Amino acid sequence: MSYKIKEVRSWSDEELKRKLEELRAEQLSQRTLKVLGGAIENPARIRNIRRAIARILTILNERKRKENSEYEGKKQEKA
């Protein structure tokens, strides 16, 4: 399943972290199948999982940076 960026942005931080855990677990199982020589149903799924993880991490990092910049702005106003 591929997630659109608008859809990902609408999720809360808790949802993002939960999805991230699910995707990493799925990625691990797909990698294990690949390494052991098993037949992977959909080889493109590995790529889609990797991209979905990157999207989620990007959104989380953007939110973290925004919080930090707002904090720094308030800190400078007090000085």
* pTM, 2 dp: 0.82
pLDDT at 52: 95
Q: Where are the alpha helices (DSSP H) in the chain?
A: 5-9, 13-35, 44-78
Q: How far apart are CA 52 and CA 71, in angstroms?
A: 29
Tens-digit pLDDT profile for residues 2-30:
788 899 899 999 999 999 999 999 999 99
Residue 42 DSSP one-character state: -
Give the contacts of 5 (CB within 8 A, at least 6 positions apart). 55, 59
Q: How far apart are CA 43 and CA 54, in angstroms?
A: 18
What are the tokens at 26? Answer: 């799925």
Which CATH number is 5-78 given? 1.10.287.310
Locate tokens 């677990």: which residue? 25
